[in-house]
């Protein structure tokens, strides 16, 4: 007989077939208390994902319907591995910094196991770890969340949502209050959005789509990327080297970056480019091909 169970791949209730089943049962107190465990290997009839189903029932698991004058026995069913229902788990988590990623994975595991207090505390810890990584360090988490907005990491509305996580986590850990599952579902979406925006999206498009260059490190990577083997031994201005990609660098940054570039050349920190000495027109001599040393 086929029954409906939650499929972690289809992410919904689907029909399952039983591949194999083992039942164990026993009793205590001279038969007054009886129990039965049923272990089943089940398979989704749609995507063919295999899960493990544990079913438990005993003689005290009974619901009495007094008005109807009858009673019914019920069973507890648990599916392994634990799954997420109504919550999306982030993909590409390898882009998330290790300390934050570890807390995120543990929080997901806690939620799968229906450990709601630990889940709420985990969501709060993700915010703490994110602040630490971004070097937003103040005494209270409330102040640090506000600073995330002031420093441009979050919009005002996003910072307000993080305060909701702080409140829920505080109540769960300090007051030992079991948070509503519906609230956790919403706050998981908030955390997923935060981590996606701060760490995942930019890493995915890096080197695939053109984006604004606003750090000297990114400027050097772009410069190395634009230098070709044909340029070696030749003199060229910065606009000639960068070509169309110069548009990626705001003018106020370009002046600053070129000044730093000249300083590093004079200090012999860069070996692939030099200054030929013509001060009338700013030219750079390409000494050698930088290669693909940089992750661009």
User: How far apart are the C-alpha atoms of 296 and 45, rounded to whole Å?
Assistant: 45
SS3 content of the chain, % helix, strand, coil (to 5): 45, 20, 35
The pLDDT value recorded for residue 88 is 86
The pLDDT value recorded for residue 201 is 82
- Region 279-292: mean pLDDT is 80
**Which sign, positive or negative, has the C-alpha torsion 90, 92, 97, 101?**
positive
Distances in Å between the Cα of 152 and the Cα atoms of 31, 71, 97, 144, 243 are 68, 61, 19, 12, 30
DSSP states of 264-283? HHHTT--SSEE--S-TTTT-
CB count in 10 Å sphere of residue 191:
21
Architecture of domain 93-205: Up-down Bundle (1.20)
- Region 95-115: mean pLDDT is 93
Rounded to two decimals, what is the model's pTM?
0.63
The pLDDT value recorded for residue 280 is 60
- Region 274-295: mean pLDDT is 75
Q: What is the pLDDT of residues 152-206, one digit of tens each?
A: 888 889 889 999 999 988 888 888 888 888 999 999 999 999 999 888 887 776 6
The pLDDT value recorded for residue 277 is 72
- Sheet of 273-274: strand order equals 235-236, 284-286, 273-274
The model's confidence at residue 105, banded by pLDDT at 50, 70 and 90, is very high
The model's confidence at residue 67, banded by pLDDT at 50, 70 and 90, is confident
Report the mean per-residue pLDDT for the chain: 88
Paired residues of 6 in beta bridges:
13
């Amino acid at each position: 007989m086929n029954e409906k169970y939650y499929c972690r791949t289809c992410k919904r209730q689907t029909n399952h077939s039983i591949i194999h089943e083992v039942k164990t049962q026993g009793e205590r107190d001279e038969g007054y208390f009886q129990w039965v465990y049923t272990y089943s290997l089940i398979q989704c009839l749609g995507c063919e994902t295999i899960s493990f189903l544990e079913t438990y029932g005993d003689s005290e698991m009974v619901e009495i319907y007094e008005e109807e004058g009858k009673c019914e026995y019920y069973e507890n069913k648990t599916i392994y591995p634990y799954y997420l229902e109504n919550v999306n788990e982030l993909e590409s988590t390898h882009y998330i910094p290790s300390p934050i990623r570890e807390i995120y994975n543990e929080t997901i595991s806690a939620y799968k196991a229906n450990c709601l207090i630990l889940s709420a505390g985990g969501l709060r810890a993700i915010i703490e770890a994110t602040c630490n990584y971004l070097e937003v360090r103040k005494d209270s988490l409330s102040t640090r969340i506000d600073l995330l907005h002031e420093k441009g990491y979050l919009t005002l509305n996003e910072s307000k949502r993080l305060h909701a996580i702080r409140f829920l986590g505080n109540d769960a850990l300090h007051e030992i209050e079991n948070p509503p599952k519906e609230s956790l579902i919403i706050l998981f979406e908030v955390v997923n959005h935060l981590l996606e925006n701060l760490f995942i999206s930019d890493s995915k498009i890096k080197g695939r789509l053109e984006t604004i260059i606003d750090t000297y490190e990114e400027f050097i990577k772009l410069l190395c990327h634009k230098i070709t083997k044909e340029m070696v031994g030749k003199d060229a201005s910065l606009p000639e080297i960068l070509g169309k990609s110069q548009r990626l660098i705001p003018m106020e940054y370009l002046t600053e970056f070129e000044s730093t570039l000249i300083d590093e050349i004079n200090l012999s920190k860069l070996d692939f480019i030099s200054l030929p000495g013509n001060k009338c027109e700013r030219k750079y001599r390409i000494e050698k091909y930088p290669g693909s040393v940089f992750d661009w």
